[in-house]
Amino acid sequence: MEELKKKLFRNQTTGWEEVNEEEKKEINEVSKSYMDFLNKAKTEREFIKRAKELADSNGYKDIMTFETLKPGDKVYFINRKKSMYLAIIGENGVENGLHIIGSHVDSPRLDLKPNPLYEDGGLAYFKTHYYGGIKKYQWTTIPLSMHGVIVKTNGETIDIDIGENEDDPIFTITDLLPHLAQEQMEKKLKNGIDGEDLSLLIGSIPLKDGDKKVPEGVKLNILNILNQKYGITEQDLTSAELELVPAFKARTLGLDGSMIAAYGQDDKVCSYTSLHAMMELEHVKNTAVCILSDKEEIGSIGNTGMESHMFDFFISEILNKLGVNRPNLLDKVFCFSKMLSSDVDAGFDPLYASVSDKTNAGYIGRGISLNKYTGSRGKSGASDANAEYVAWVRNVLEKHNIRYQVAELGKVDIGGGGTIAYIIANKGADVIDCGVPVLSMHAPYEVTSKFDVYSAYKTYKAFWQE
Ligand code: MN
Ligand code: MN
C-alpha cells in the first residue's frame, strides 16, 4: 500500500528529506550570496544599483548603446534608477514570444514626509508616511536605518545610507510603556499605533547661542548637522526620497540552519534568485527577459511600476534593434509569450493555521510555490493561469527535478492579494504566479526556507533554458 500511495499521492514531505550533501552545499552557497546581497540592497534604488553592477560584470550592456542586436546579446534598461529590465536575445528570435520572469524590488517600509523635521518636548523627529501594507505596531521599538536620496535644485544628488554600519547611529520609533498603556491596550490591534505617531526619533541636543537658549534649538542643531555634512537646508528635504527600513542584517535562522530571517524578502527573494539565475545563462532558445519592477506594494502604478509603458518601450527597442519591427508586432510578441510572475506566497504558519486551507496552502521547505490564481472572494481580480500552461510549467519543473507545490494564498473569503501577473496576462501572455513561501510576510523580519530559495533559483534558470 505504501508503494501505491507513493505512486498516486502528491508529495507533501519537506524537500530537506531528499537533499544530499552536494545539494546541501549548493543550497548554502545560493543562500549565502542571497543574504549578502540583501544586506547591500534594502531599497529599490539599492537593488537596481547592485543589479547593474552584477549585469555589467556579466557582459550585459545598456540597450541604448546598441545600434543593432543579434542572438546572444545581453541587454538591460534601467528605468529612473528604480526598476530594470534585462534580456538575452534568443536564437529563435522574438516572434515566437519571450520567456519572462517578473518580480518586484520594492518592499513595505516607512518613507519620510516631504516636510519631515520637527521638534517636540526637547526631542527632534522626522515624520513618516508608511509605504505598502504594514502592521504599524511592528515598526516601533526596532532599529531603523535611513536610505535614499536628496536632490538639490542644481541637480546634485546626495546619497543617504545611515544605520547599516556598526559605527553608524540608528533611529527608532518609540512606544508607550506598559505601565501607562491601559488605554492603548484596549484598542484594536490595527489602531494601537496611529499612522501619524510613526515619528522617528533623531536627536536631543539643542544648539545654543552662547549661554542663551534658542527656540527650536534641537531642530536647528539637526539642520546644522545636515547642512555641514551634506550642504542642504530644510527645504531640500522636499525633493528627497528617504526610506526607513529595519537595520537588522539577514541571518541564518534555526538550530539546524535551514531558514533565513531578513527584511524585504518580499519580493527580493524572487528578484535576487531570478537575477542570479540570469547571470549564469549564456545562449538561450527563446529570448529571456527579467523584470525587476518597482511600486508593486502600492499597486504597480506610476512610471516605475509594472503598469508603466516603459516595459513595452524596452521590448519595442529590442524589436527595432533586431530590425524586425513592424506594425502590431509588439502585441504578437506578448500574445505568444510565457511568464512566471515571481512573487512570494504566504507560507503556512501553524501558529495561525485557521486562515489557511491546509490542503491548499504553501509550506516553507517544500519547494517553489505555484499559485494558479490569486485574487479575493470569488477570485475577484485574479490572474488565473490556464490548465494547459500550468501543465507546461509542471513539465519543466519535473524534467529538472525541482520540488514544487501548487497553493492558494489563504482560505476562501479570508482575504487575498495580487501580484504583477495580471498586467502581463492582460497583454495576452500565459502567466502563472511562482515564488517562495514566506512567514511573517510584510513584517520587518520575514522568514524563508533556504531549500525554497534554492528551488526558486533552479526554477527560474530552468524556465529560461526551455
Ligand atoms: Mn510581493
Ligand atoms: Mn508584498
402 and 359 co-located in one domain: yes
Evaluate whether residue 251 is within a structural domain.
no
Domains contained in the chain, number = 2
Q: How confident is the model at residue 418 (pLDDT cuts 50, 70, 90)?
A: confident
125 and 90 co-located in one domain: no
Evaluate whether residue 163 is within a structural domain.
yes
183 and 145 co-located in one domain: yes
84 and 126 co-located in one domain: no
- Spacing, Cα 112 to ligand 2 middle (Å): 20
- Spacing, Cα 107 to ligand 2 middle (Å): 7
CA distance 19 to 256: 14
- Spacing, Cα 372 to ligand 1 middle (Å): 16
Evaluate whether residue 257 is within a structural domain.
no
pLDDT in tens, 216-225: 999 999 999 9
CATH, residue 313: 3.40.630.10
> Phi first, then psi: what are they for 357, rounded to 5°?
-90, 110
DSSP characters over 188-213: -GGGSS-GGG-PEEEE-PPP-BTTB-
What is the chain's mean pLDDT, rounded? 97
Residue 355 has a pLDDT of: 96
Q: How confident is the model at residue 281 (pLDDT cuts 50, 70, 90)?
A: very high
Q: Which ligand is nearest to the CA of 344?
A: 1
Evaluate whether residue 50 is within a structural domain.
yes
Q: Which ligand is nearest to the CA of 436?
A: 1
67 and 166 co-located in one domain: no
Residue 417 has a pLDDT of: 85
- Spacing, Cα 259 to ligand 2 middle (Å): 19
315 and 376 co-located in one domain: yes
Do residues 86 and 101 lie in contact, with contact meaning Cβ atoms separated by under 8 Å?
Answer: no
CA distance 178 to 183: 10
- Spacing, Cα 134 to ligand 2 middle (Å): 9
Higher pLDDT, 398 or 382: 398
- 3-state class of 236 per DSSP? helix
Pairing, β 74-79 against β 61-62? parallel
Nearest to 115 by CA among 27, 242, 265: 242
343 and 400 co-located in one domain: yes
Evaluate whether residue 256 is within a structural domain.
no
Residue 94 has a pLDDT of: 93
93 and 134 co-located in one domain: no
Domain assignment of residue 447, given as a range: 2-107+263-465
The pLDDT of 79-97, averaged and rounded, is: 96
78 and 162 co-located in one domain: no
Q: How confident is the model at residue 93 (pLDDT cuts 50, 70, 90)?
A: confident
- Spacing, Cα 295 to ligand 1 middle (Å): 10
236 and 301 co-located in one domain: no
Residue 163 has a pLDDT of: 98
CATH, residue 142: 2.30.250.10
Q: Please, which residues have CB within 8 angstroms of residue 431's CB and are 6 or more apart in sequence?
A: 338, 339, 340, 341, 383, 385, 389, 421, 422, 424, 425
Cα-based angle 301, 102, 349 (whole degrees, multiple of 5): 95
Residue with cell 509588439: 330
- 3-state class of 319 per DSSP? helix
- Spacing, Cα 108 to ligand 1 middle (Å): 9
pLDDT in tens, 289-301: 999 999 999 999 9
451 and 330 co-located in one domain: yes
The lowest-confidence range among 3-7, 259-263, 350-354, 373-377 is: 373-377
Do residues 355 and 413 lie in contact, with contact meaning Cβ atoms separated by under 8 Å?
Answer: no
- Spacing, Cα 414 to ligand 2 middle (Å): 17
Amino acid, single-letter form, for residue 87 = A
Name the packing angle between helices 21-40 and 450-465 (round to 10°): 90
Evaluate whether residue 255 is within a structural domain.
no
Evaluate whether residue 420 is within a structural domain.
yes
- Spacing, Cα 319 to ligand 1 middle (Å): 30
324 and 407 co-located in one domain: yes
